[in-house]
Amino acid sequence: MAFDSLEERMGGDDNITPMEIAHHTLFTAKEKIELLNQLKADVTGAHHEGKSMAVDAEEIDAAIAEVRQGVQDGVGADTVARGDF
């Protein structure tokens, strides 16, 4: 019997982008902001250690701005079960 890995279940070795997090329907706006801020902290820390990451802080900032704009427009405060985008 073959077992799939978490990596395969999440779409293989493709990485999710900050903008995909910003538009993900299973997270509330608060959760998206928390995830993006954690990602930004990780990216910033890696940058200071001389490591390169697949995303940069500007891309994460743009995703955070997208979530905030969605909240201002009245979208994104709830999950898909409640009508999030």
* pLDDT for 84: 47
- pLDDT means per 10 residues in the chain (85 residues)? 49 76 92 95 89 88 95 71 50
Q: Quote the CA–CA distance of 78 and 82 in Å, as a whole number.
A: 6
Instruction: Report the half-sphere exposure of 60 (CA within 13 A, side-chain side).
Output: 18
* pLDDT for 78: 60
* pLDDT for 32: 95
* pLDDT for 16: 86
Global pTM value: 0.72
Residues 6+ apart with CB under 8 A from 50: none
